[in-house]
Amino acid sequence: MAHLFLMRHGMSEWNKLGLWTGWTDVDLAPEGRNEARAAAKFFKDVAIQSVHTSTLKRAQQTFAEIQKELSWHDLEPCVSPALNERNYGVYTGLVKEEVRKKVGEEEYKKIRRGFSHPIPEGESLATVFERISCYFEDHVRPELRHGKNVLIVAHGNSLRALVKYLENIDDESIVDVHIETGEVYRYEFDSRGLLVGKQILKNAA
């Protein structure tokens, strides 16, 4: 049996401001560092053998806090843009609540949570789904088949896309999936690399 942990980075400085961040490379807020350290308890009793992060600072800083907390000195993460957050295009840097008021609740939900809804100069979640599912099959599932316990530290939308892939969630239902900052999903895989169990670990930091 192998375990896969999916963790959304801690709260960033732009999360605090309610801004659409996307590919903008912002730092963790102090609250986000606290969330990362608090989440370390979820990994204390599991021998993590492989770590994957995005190229963005908020994901790498989250792992760095966990690494310090658990003295994982020998663990170096594999870093890939395939795990990066969704590119929010023209909405990047805008205040989410102001966009909601401008476009209305229905359109806002499509922009923020929809699967195939286009984003001018940005990515749909469907595009993120393609890049992260390919990365998972090429780099992560082989590790799980070999019995390795894997941690992926990434972003709300890149992880939503991966959760959709792993759980075969339909395009309409993925709208209702939301992963909080500092939240962890724990999956169990059998020796064939097939999903057999799931647990959501809430961070109380």
Task: Confirm whether 155 is a catalytic residue.
Answer: no
Task: Confirm whether 178 is a catalytic residue.
Answer: no
Q: Whole-angstrom Cα distance, residue 97 to residue 165?
A: 29
Catalytic residue among 35, 65, 85, 183: 85
- Cβ atoms 166, 5 nearer than 8 A: no
Q: Whole-angstrom Cα distance, residue 195 to residue 88?
A: 30
Q: How many CB atoms lie within 10 A of CB 142?
A: 12
Residues with Cβ within 8 Å of 118's Cβ and at least 6 positions away in sequence, in order, are 124
Residues with Cβ within 8 Å of 178's Cβ and at least 6 positions away in sequence, in order, are 113, 156, 160
- Cβ atoms 114, 21 nearer than 8 A: no
Q: Whole-angstrom Cα distance, residue 142 to residue 202?
A: 28
Catalytic residue among 9, 123, 143, 155: 9
Please give the positions annotated as active site: 9, 85
